[in-house]
Structure 1
Amino acid sequence: MLADYAEIFRHRGGSYHKAMLTVPHARVLEFKRALEPLIADLAARPAFRIADVPSGGEYLRSFLPATVEYHGFDPSSGFNTGPAEGGDLADLPFPDLSIDAFISLAGLHHCLDKRPFLNACHRTLVPRGLLSVLDVGSGSPEARFLDEFVGKYNGMGHEGDYLGPGFVLQFEPSKWDVLSAGMVDCHWQFASKTELCEFCRGLFRLQGVSDSLTLEAVRSYLGVKPSIDSQESVQMPWRLYRVVARKCVPNPQEH
C-alpha cells in the first residue's frame, strides 16, 4: 500500500530537512536539471512565476534569479518551515492561470494517481506554461535502492509509484504538448564517504545503519566505486526520469 505523502514526511520531514541544510551541495545537480527546461523562458521573461511542488524546505528557491516570483507548496508539516497548507499534492493553493512554470522534484513517486496533480497544474498554469517533473524512474537501480534498502531501514517501509512511459501517457494530448521524456544524470556529490553516509541516514531517516552497510548498499544498487581514502570526495550515481510538457493553447473552435 502506497503511503500518503503528507503522512510520510510528517515523520521523515525533519530529518530530511536537516540533511539538506547540513549538506546543501549534495543534490545541486538535481535542481539544475529541474530548471534546465526553463532557461529560455527565464531569459525571455525575467519576472517569471514559478511554483515548486512539493517544495519541502524550499531548496529550489536558492537556484532562482532574484527577479523570479517563487511559490512553494508542500502538504506536509514535517519540514519545520512553517504550517502546512494541508491536503495532498493536488490541492494546489494557486489561482487559475497564475503560474508560468511548475517544478516537481522527487515527490510524485509518493502519489499513486498522478492525474489529479496534472489537472491541478493545468488549471493554474497560463497557456503555454511549462511543467518540469523529475522523479525516480520505474524499474531503475534508484527505485530498487529506495524500495528495498531504504524501505528496510527507515522504520516506515518504502513503496514508490515511479515514473516511466506510463506516466507520459497520462498527459492528455488536448491539454499538454510533451516536449521530452527520459532519464537524466543527477549524481549526488559529497566531500567524503563519511558525508555520503551521514546524508543518506538523515535524508531517508535510516535507523541502525552503519557507514559500512550504507556504502555496501550504495555500491551494490548504484555502483559507487570503492576508494582507498575514506575522506576522498565521492560521487553517488543518481539518475531521474524527467518529463517536460507545455500547456496547450485552447482552440477557440472547441468553445
Structure 2
Amino acid sequence: MIADYAEIFRHRGGSYHRAMLTVPHARMREFQRAVEPLAADLAANPMLRVADVPAGGEYLQYFLPNSIIYQGFDPSSGFNSDLYESCGLADLPFADQSIDALVSLAGLHHCSDKRPFLNASHRALVPRGMLSILDVRAGSSEAQFLDEFVGEYNGMGHEGDYLGPEFVLQCDTQHWEILSAGMVDCHWQFVSKTELCDFCRGLFRLQRVSNTMILDAVARYLNFRASTDSHETVLMPWRLYRVVARKRFPSQREH
C-alpha cells in the first residue's frame, strides 16, 4: 500500500524543505531537466502560465524566467507554504484551460493511480499545452535506493509506484501526443561528501544513520565513486524517467 503523498510530507515536508534551502544547488540538474521541454514555448510566449505540481517549497520557479506566470500547488501542509489547498493530485485547483504548461517533478511515485492526475492535468491545460513529468523509473537503482535504504531508515517506510512504459500507455492517445519518453541524467552535486550526507539525511528524514552508512548505500545502489580531490565537486549519480506530452485539440486523433 503506497502511503498518501499529503500524509507523507505532513511528516517529512519540514525536513525536506530545510535540506532544499540549505543546499539549493544539489538538485539543480533535476529542475533544469524538468523545464528543458518548455524552451520553445517559453521563447514564443515569455508570459507562459506554468503550473508546478506538486510544488513543495516552490523550488522550480527559480529555474524559470521571471516573465512567466507561476502557479504552484502542493497537496501537503508539511512544507508550511501558502500553496497548500484541501485537494489532491487528482483534483488540481486550476480553472479549465488556464495553464499553458504543467511540470511535475519527483512526486507522482507517491500516487498509485496516476490516471486521475492525468485527467486533471488535461482539464487544466490549454489545447496544445505541455505536460513535463520527471520521476524515478520502475526497476531502477534509484527506486531500489529509495524503497530499500531510505525506506529502512526514514521511520515511515518507502514504497513507490514508479514510472515506466506502462505509464505512457495510460496517456490516452486521443487526449495526449507523446513527444518523448526516456531516461535523463540528473546527477546531484555537492561541494563535499559531508554535504551529500547532510542533504540526504534531511531530504529523506533519515534517522540513526551515520555518514558512512549513507555513503556506503549510495555507492552500493547508485555506483557512487567520490574523487579523492577535496576541491572537486562531488556528483551523486541520479537518473530519472522523463515523459513529455502535449494536450491534443479536441478534434485531433491518432493517425
The bucket for the TM-score relative to the shorter chain is: over 0.9
Q: Report the counterpart of residue 202 of structure 1 in structure 2.
A: 202
Aligned to 1:122: 122
Give the superposition deviation at 1:82.
3.0
Show structure 1 runs of 5+ residues with no match. Answer: none
Q: Aligned pair in 2 of structure 1 residues 199, 119: CA closer, same or farther (>3 Å)?
A: same
For the 8 Å contact 1:194–1:230, the answer to whether it is kept is no
Shift of 1:34: 0.4
Correspondence list, 1:71-90, <5 A: 71-82=71-82, 84-90=84-90
Corresponding residue for 2:186?
186
TM-score, normalising length: structure 1: 0.97
**Which aligned pairs between 1:39-188 and structure 2 lie closer than 5 A?**
39-82=39-82, 84-188=84-188
What is the alpha-carbon distance in structure 2 between the residues aligned to residue 63 and residue 8 of structure 1?
A: 26
Q: Percent identity?
A: 72
> Residue type matched to 1:184 in 2?
V
Show the counterpart of 1:11. Answer: 11
Please provide the CA RMSD for this pair. Answer: 1.3
* Alpha-carbon separation, structure 2, partners of 1:53 and 1:134: 11
SS of 2:77 mapped into structure 1: coil
Give the count of matched residue pairs.
Answer: 253
Are the structure 2 counterparts of residues 83 and 99 from structure 1 closer, same or farther at C-alpha, using a change threshold of 3 Å? Answer: closer
Shift of 1:252: 8.2
Partners of 1:193 and 1:131 in 2: how far apart? 35
1:193 and 1:232 in contact (8 A); partners too: no
Q: Give me the whole-angstrom Cα distance separating, in 1, the residues matched to 2:231 and 2:112.
A: 40
CA contact (8 A) 1:186 1:240 kept: yes
Letter in 2 for 1:59: Y
* Residue of structure 2 in register with 1:251 after alignment: 251
The secondary structure found in structure 2 opposite 1:217 is helix
